[in-house]
Amino acid sequence: MLITREQIAAKVAQMGERISNDFAGESLVLIGVLKGATIFLADLARQIKLDTTFDFVAVSSYGNGRQPSGSVRLVKDIDRSMEGRNVILVEDILDTGLTLTFLMNLLQSHRPKSLKVAALLDKISRRTEPVHADYVGFAIPDEFVVGYGLDFAERYRNLPDICVLESGAESR
Ligand code: IMP
Ligand code: MG
């Protein structure tokens, strides 16, 4: 186990408070990146005391395993224009940065009023793109993690804590 549910809850509450202060008096759109960010978004949204709506995007970058394929493809676009809105892109984990770079470009083209990124986890040492998250939960080492929305081949998303995938766990 790398990060417990209690540690996650405390950090998400802090992040929600910061966002509520930073955008005081404004409305917000949280855009979740399916499917990994769903649990984080659900918890974070309930810690934000502002007029808040949700939207979702889906991208495919990883195959069914640990390695990124290098290219990002949009599988599901947002439902409404983000023109003039305060947008926070909600990601489970920032790894190479390819996904985030792609999504930031997509959302910038909507001409939002502001565009920020909230990432629960950040694997800084893996970054190949010059992107950063404005709100980061935990910086983690280069380990493959699962739980709290994060998957390995679609499994383990429902684990309440964030755990390092053991080598060998793939075949179980
Ligand atoms: P990036 O485009 O390399 O930054 O990758 C971001 C995406 O890769 C995340 O949204 C995750 O879906 C996936 N990913 C990266 N590292 C991990 C991990 O340790 N566990 C599970 N998924 C991961
Ligand atoms: Mg994934």
Pocket test for ligand 1, best of 57, 60, 93 (most atoms within 8 A of CB): 93
Partners of 29 in beta bridges: 53, 87
Pocket test for ligand 1, best of 75, 95, 123, 158 (most atoms within 8 A of CB): 95
Q: In this structure, which residues have their CB less than 5 angstroms from ion ligand 2?
A: 36
Closest residue (by CA) to atom 9 of ligand 1? 93
Q: Which atom of ligand 1 is nearest to the CA of 36?
A: 12
pLDDT in tens, 103-151: 999 999 999 999 999 999 999 999 999 999 999 999 999 999 999 999 9
Close Cβ partners of 21 (under 8 Å, ≥ 6 residues apart): none
**Cβ atoms within 10 A of the Cβ of 163, count?**
20
Packing angle, helices 5-22 and 38-45, rounded to 10: 60
**Cβ atoms within 10 A of the Cβ of 4, count?**
13
* DSSP state for residue 125 in the 8-state scheme: G
Mean pLDDT of 68-86: 90
Closest residue (by CA) to atom 11 of ligand 1? 93
The active-site residue, picked from 92, 95, 122, 151, is 95
In this structure, are residues 80 and 110 in contact, taking their beta carbons and an 8 Å threshold? no
pLDDT at 172: 56
pLDDT in tens, 24-56: 999 999 999 999 999 999 999 999 999 999 999
Residue 171 pLDDT greater than 60, yes or no: no
pLDDT at 66: 60
Is the pTM higher than 0.85? The answer reads: yes
- Among 98, 101, 77, 90, residue whose Cα is nearest residue 134: 90
CA 32 to chain CA centroid, nearest Å: 7
Q: How far apart are CA 155 and CA 146, in angstroms?
A: 8
pLDDT at 65: 58
State what percent of residues in the chain have pLDDT above 70. Answer: 93
Q: Which atom of ligand 1 is nearest to the CA of 152?
A: 21
Q: Within 6 Å (CB) of ligand 1, which residues are found?
A: 33, 36, 61-62, 68, 91-100, 144-146, 150
Residue 64 pLDDT greater than 90, yes or no: no
- Among 49, 52, 56, residue whose Cα is nearest residue 29: 52
- pLDDT band at residue 74 using 50, 70 and 90 as cut-offs: very high
Pairing status of strand 51-62 against strand 27-34: parallel
Q: What is the mean pLDDT of the chain?
A: 94
Residue 15 pLDDT greater than 90, yes or no: yes
Token output for 15: 């992040």
pLDDT at 71: 85
Residue 97 pLDDT greater than 60, yes or no: yes
Closest residue (by CA) to atom 20 of ligand 1? 145
